[in-house]
Amino acid sequence: MTTTLITGANKGLGFESARRLVAAGHTVYIGARDAERGRRAAEQIGARSVQLDVTDDASVQAAAKTIGADGGLDVLVNNAGIEVRAEDNSIPTAGDTTADEMRTVFDTNVFGVVRVTHAFLPLLQRSAAPVVVNVSSGLASLTGLSSPDSPAHFYQAVAYPSSKTAVNMITVQYAKAFPDMRINAVEPGFTATDLNGRTGTQTVEEGAEIIVRMAQLGPDGPTGGYFDVNGPLPW
């Protein structure tokens, strides 16, 4: 039996990934910062739920203790993420970016990934086939955002893409440190969720595809890579 934790899984891509992995036979924990939202989401799809705020050490430690006591963890999906937008859903420009905005975004998207991974490493190390999926973004790609021909080139904000570039580097470094684990970063594609005011062009079913696929990697699968649904992406 494979046990999987997905952070930020009470809605959006995390919830759809949870639904699909339950259907594939995983025991799935929906990590949610709001325990009640997590409980309701889990109930809909036959998952379990655990209170988990990726910005809060005590919450993450308690979740690791609970899941450890229940029997351990095989797959960790670091999915919780935020993008700071204005009231009218516009994206802050480079000129508007403040250190406070950076800190807020990095606290969830970057430090959250490290906080959760660090707390769950002892459980993953006890698994026969440990897997980590870090939900990155196409906007993480230095190649994409610096090349005028790329569809991502238009994107002006500083905090969100740099946080996801950091997630990619974190993925590479953990993958080198833990060669017995499959640790990859994924780009779901531009998906209609609350994160972008539902302006995304894909459905959550389409967006979750690469998350679900990489969560089910066997020990012979790739590690230390950055993938979308069509294959490896340029860093």
- Cβ closest to ligand NAP, residue 174 vs residue 190: 190
Residues between 133 and 152 that touch ligand NAP (CB under 6 A): 135, 137
Q: Which stretch binds ligand NAP (CB under 6 A): 29-37, 93-101, 147-155, 215-223?
A: 29-37
Name the active-site residue from 29, 160, 174, 226. Answer: 160
Q: Which of 2, 117, 193, 216 binds ligand NAP (CB under 6 A)?
A: 193
Active site residue 164: yes
Which residue in the set 2, 3, 4, 10 belongs to the binding site for ligand NAP (CB under 6 A)?
10
Q: Which of 11, 29, 65, 164 is catalytic?
A: 164
List Cα–Cα distances, 207 to 15, 110, 188, 191, 203, in angstroms. 11, 21, 5, 6, 6
Token pair 């993925």 in the structure block, residue: 171
Lookup: tokens for 14? 């995390």
For residue 210, the minimal CB distance to ligand NAP (Å) is: 10
Residue 184 contacts ligand NAP per CB under 6 A:
no
> Per CB under 6 A, which region of 62-70, 74-82, 175-183, 224-232 contacts ligand NAP?
74-82
The reply on whether position 168 binds ligand NAP by CB under 6 A is no
Contact between 19 and ligand NAP (CB under 6 A)?
no
| 132 near ligand NAP, rule: CB under 6 A | no
Residue number with CB closer to ligand NAP (104 or 129): 104
Q: How many residues bind ligand NAP (CB under 6 A)?
A: 30
150: left (phi over 0), alpha (psi -120 to 50) or beta: beta
Site map 200..219 versus ligand NAP, x via CB under 6 A: x-------------------
Where in the sequence numbering do the catalytic residues fall? Answer: 160, 164
Binding site for ligand NAP (CB under 6 A): 7-8, 10-14, 33-34, 37, 52-55, 79-82, 108, 135, 137, 187-188, 190-191, 193-196, 200
